Structure 1
Amino acid sequence: MLSQFLAGRPGAAQRAGVKALRENSVASNLSLDDLTKLLGSYGMSKAGVPVTEETAMRVSAVYACVDRIVGAIATLPLGIYERAGEARKPVEHDYHWMLNERANEDMSAADAWSQLVANKLFGGDGYAELLRPSMSSARVIGWKPHHWSRVTPFRDHKSKRKYFRVLPDTGGPAYVLDQADMVQLTSLGYDGLTSPSPITYAAREAIGTALAQQDFAGRFFSEGAVFDYALQTDQGMNGEQVKDLREQLLSRVSGSRAPLILAGGLKPAQLTINPKDAEILGTRLFSVEEICRIFGVPPYLVGHTEKNSSWGTGMESQGANFKRYTLLKHLVQIAQELNHKLWPTRQRYFVQHVTAELERGDFKSRMEGYRTALGRAGERPIMTTNEVRRAENLPPAPGGDSLEPLAAAGNATGDSKTNDGPTADDDTTNPGEQNAKPSAE
């Protein structure tokens, strides 16, 4: 009934803040906020532009921020490790393929991670269904992300256990999943069921202002890149003069750059402030910084280099800071959720993202780090030769799995000679003299 009322009155949906009405949704005992969420409403920004997932993607700063976070997480390998007392070691596990190569028959792991993380950044919550061979099986054979708008979390009043009502994107009736079969990545403001959308909660005004600026700039250039003005005169004008003047003005609006000839004492008077005085460029630059601040992405990663970066100067330090301040909160959340859902009763195995590639420095820096890790100047090494070669995608070397210092390893093989020159134990006799015949004496 509400949808029919809004649809039958021009502008009613916009005044009510409703952007689109969602179909096939059933709920009861809703508050006003819940009702607007159910109807697919999105907050109208003060700039007069509705901010939705679709409109936010039109802002280049939003697109770039989401792309940097999603791209980094989707390309990071997810390692599986085994706990052995206080030690841990990487292991070959059946789950490796679905987490790193193929999430399900229709999606690669990279595509699935991209969709899951993007849903969290746009909708507040990212959802992924764990696929099992049967309802009674504890084994997981794949996983499938769902769009945040097609999943409705709720709790059972008696057991207080959380369930998820899923509306399939391929059609058909909705079905319910237990919390053990659904991965949920929440955002700041999580209330136990859902999280607010970052783009319509924290970034609504910044994105709305950016959209309004883009629309203004587009109209400004499409209308000849001139500001609004009026023509005033103290003298009267006849009908023929008014007609000629109107034709000249319309030709300029349609794209003609011919000069405007003013006669009869006409003088232009500016009606609107020009873009330079309105600080349109400065406002757009500030919008980029504001959007980057909300997503936690350093501005230089989205091409905003107006100011000096405080995220470090070298590639290695910038990558480490990006991981520490932007990605780590997402990576830890993903790992904890997977560890609980994949191994709910056992703590033998766990997953963790391999982030070494993000902190990978240039060749010289890597070689200096490897020298220290291999035990420089007789120090105890922390890496083996084959571990270093594996980090550089090189095949293992024979005898390269020892943690002994290089000098000790050399002594163990009996190779104690060096090229530093002869020692007291060396035979320094000239070979030619050894082979010389004895003298007549």
Structure 2
Amino acid sequence: MMNLFSFGAKPKRNRYDIALPPEPAPGVNNAAYGGPYTPTEFSDWMRGINAAAGVSVNDTSAMSISAVYACVALIGGTVASIPLQIYERQNGARVPVDHDYWWLFNEQPNPDYSASVLWESAVANLLLNGDGIMAIRRPKYGMAINGIEWFNRRGVTPYKSTKGLGLQYRCTHLDGAIEDFGYEDILHMAGPGFNGLHGMSQIRHVLRHSAGIALAADTFSAKYFENGARPDYALVHPGSVTPEQKNQILDYWEERHKGVNNAHRPAFLSGGADVKELSMNAEDAQLIATRQFQIEDIARGFGVPPHMIGHTQAATSWGTGIEQLSLGFLKFTMLRHLKKIEREINRKIWPNRVKYFAEFNTAALERGDYKTRMEGYRVALGRAGEPAFMRVSEIRKFENLPPDAELDHLAMTITQGASNASVTDQTASA
């Protein structure tokens, strides 16, 4: 096996010798903020995108919403958990092969992190910022691959080559170093709304208002419980009080009744003071309903069935209904992400070859329950004299069991015997 991580000499900053666009303004290289950013991007990150709810939304604040985090973690974790198998085309058939690149895509793309981290990070950027960007590392000479590196979308600037070399990418490392790549060395998974350079940012578009409302509802709920989970009210005193007396009364009231631990403590009012309610309680204001709806709205934006992120109020949480919803998630949500990744890998890794190709093996996600699988295996082995199309060893492989030649022979004997008996019965009845 080749040495996957011997990158050799450090690649030149402009290995394609092309005319580059003007240098971008110096980035703000702060890893804590998910940088590096240009000053404009950093300003957008700090201020966020103002939603109609009056709060700022950016990728970090959006991930503080449990529904957003659950959707991103679910989709990214699912991609990371599916093995990417490499196949070889042989006489019209597809045969799994033991390829050197399998290790890069399934175990360790580079010495810094595992393949699971690579996929989860790239998919999170795709879902939140519209693009998943990964650089293909090659030795100084040759086109073989010896590593794959993930780049934060915020640190990547796609641009068109002025010399007809196609799409180029200027990537900024966390230390501020700038590195340029040609299109053949970047795995670019663009989201919906691709404009020729990048996909549409979900933060700026799809999640702008739904996430903003969810953040506003979370903040309101936190303040509600911080203030003792009480409605807004006013302390009314029949006489006039000085500003100092007013502040003393308010400080005393907050000290005695602010916070969850002080909830429901009895209040003592003297001198004719009274408490007047100024607003409705949280349930009347439909705060709970708003938060529940935002879970469904965010799940809809990501294409995730609400029950898969723990919201089972509007659907049954057991039985075939949930099973069908889960299969629908695989077919209509996961497959569009998986196919996008597969096609980008195949056109960049093997651009001039049709011999090899990569494909995610989703069999584990499509498996039914034990009884359903056993019924399917019976049909595959040739039930009731029907022709078989699988061997026992092939079925045992699906169940992570070693092959067994004796069982293959026994099953074939039984199937042939049943088939001969069926033919004999048909001849006798004729």
| Deviating more after overlay: 67-76 vs 243-252 | 243-252
Secondary structure in structure 2 of the residue aligned to 1:201: coil
Per the alignment, residue 151 of structure 1 pairs with 156
| TM-score, structure 2 as length reference | 0.81
1:283 equivalent in alignment to 2:290: yes
Q: How many corresponding residue pairs?
A: 383
**Equivalent position of 1:3 in the other structure:** none
Does the alignment pair 1:185 with 2:192? no
Q: Which moved more, 1:306-315 or 1:41-50?
A: 306-315
Residues 216-241 of structure 1 deviation map (CA, whole Å, 9 limit, x = unaligned):
111111111112212346x4356698
Secondary structure of residue in 1 paired with 2:56: coil
Question: Which AA in structure 2 matches 1:236?
Answer: G
User: 2:368 aligned with 1:365, yes or no?
Assistant: no
Q: How has the CA–CA distance of structure 1 residues 242 and 327 changed in structure 2, closer, same or farther, with 3 Å as cutoff?
A: closer
- Cα 1:411/1:290, change in 2 over 3 Å: closer
Shift in Å, 1:272:
2.7
What residue is the counterpart of 1:165 in the other structure? Answer: 170
Cα distance change on mapping 1:66 and 1:225 into 2, 3 Å: same
Alpha-carbon separation, structure 2, partners of 1:277 and 1:254: 22
Alpha-carbon distance in structure 2 between the residues aligned to 1:312 and 1:152? 47
The letter of the residue matching 1:213 is A
Q: Report the residue type matching 2:191 in the other structure.
A: S
- The residue number in structure 2 matching 1:438 is none
User: Where does structure 2 lack aligned partners over 5 or more consecutive residues?
Assistant: 1-32, 422-430
**Root-mean-square deviation (Å):** 2.9
CA distance in 1, matches of 2:332, 2:317: 12
Of structures 1 and 2, the one with the larger relative CO (CA 8 A, separation 6+) is 2
Amino acid at match of 1:395: P
SS of corresponding position for 2:49: coil
In the alignment, which of 56, 70, 75 is matched to residue 76 of structure 2? 70
How far apart in 1 are the matches of 2:118 and 2:96? 24
Query: How far off is 1:84 after superposition?
Result: 2.5
Deviation at 1:130, TM superposition (A): 0.6
Query: Is 1:92 aligned to residue 98 of structure 2?
Result: yes
- One-letter amino acid of the counterpart of residue 366, structure 1: R
Instruction: Say yes or no: does 1:227 pair with 2:234.
Output: no
The answer to which of 218-227 and 337-346 deviates more is: 218-227
SS of aligned partner of 2:320: coil
Whether the aligned pair in 1 keeps the contact of 2:36 and 2:173 (CA below 8 Å) is no
3-state SS, counterpart of residue 185 of structure 1: strand
**One of 111, 114, 130 as aligned partner of 1:124:** 130
Q: Is the 2:392–2:411 Cα contact (8 Å) retained in structure 1?
A: no
1:215 matched to 2:222: no
Q: Check whether the contact 1:384–1:403 (CA below 8 A) recurs between aligned residues.
A: no
Q: Does 1:251 align with 2:258?
A: no
Q: Secondary structure of the equivalent of 1:236?
A: coil
Paired with 1:158 and 1:389, the residues of 2 have a C-alpha distance of 55
Write out per-residue CA displacement over residues 232-265 of structure 1, whole angstroms, 9 at most, x where no aligned residue: 46x4356698688546523334454542233444
The reply to whether residue 114 of structure 1 matches residue 105 of structure 2 is no
| Pairing 1:208-357 to 2, within 5 Å after superposition | 208-232=212-236, 235-236=238-239, 245-246=249-250, 248-255=252-259, 256=262, 257-308=264-315, 313=320, 316-357=323-364
Looking at structure 2, the residues matched to 116 and 312 of structure 1 have their Cα atoms a distance apart, in angstroms, of 34
Contact 1:381 1:404 in 2 (8 A): no
Kindly tell me: are residues 278 and 50 of structure 1, through their superposed partners in 2, closer, same or farther at Cα, counting changes over 3 Å? same
Q: Higher helix fraction: Structure 1 or Structure 2?
A: 2
Name stretches of at least 5 consecutive residues in structure 1 with no aligned partner: 1-19, 26-34, 418-441
Q: Is the 1:80–1:90 Cα contact (8 Å) retained in structure 2?
A: yes
The 1-side partners of 2:43 and 2:255 are apart by 45
Q: Structure 1 residues 80 and 402, CA, compared in 2 at 3 Å: closer, same or farther? A: farther
Contact preservation (8 Å) 1:384, 1:402: no
Matches within 5 A, 1:3-82: 25=38, 36-37=40-41, 39-41=43-45, 42-82=48-88
CA distance in 2, matches of 1:288, 1:188: 22
- Deviation, structure 1 residue 51: 0.8
Greater displacement, 356-365 / 246-255? 246-255
Of 397-406 and 351-360, the range deviating more from structure 2? 397-406
Q: CA deviation at 1:174?
A: 0.5
Check the 8 A contact 1:374/1:406 in 2, yes or no.
Answer: no
Of the three residues 180, 192, 202, the one matched with 1:198 is: 202
Q: CA deviation at 1:182?
A: 0.4
Alignment partners' CA distance in 1, 2:267 and 2:151: 58
8 Å contact 2:122–2:133 — kept in the other structure?
Answer: yes
Asked whether the 8 Å contact 1:311–1:318 carries over to 2, the reply is no
The aligned amino acid for 2:206 is A
Deviates more, 1:366-375 or 1:397-406: 397-406
Counterpart amino acid of 1:229? Y
Name which of structure 1's ranges 188-197 and 268-277 shifts more when overlaid on structure 2: 268-277
Q: 1:79 to 1:400 in 2, by over 3 A?
A: farther
- For residue 378 of structure 1, the aligned residue among 377, 385, 388 is 385
Correspondence for 1:138: 143
Indicate how the Cα distance of structure 1 residues 74 and 21 shifts in structure 2: closer, same or farther if over 3 A, else same: closer
Normalised to the residue count of structure 1, the TM-score between the two structures is: 0.79
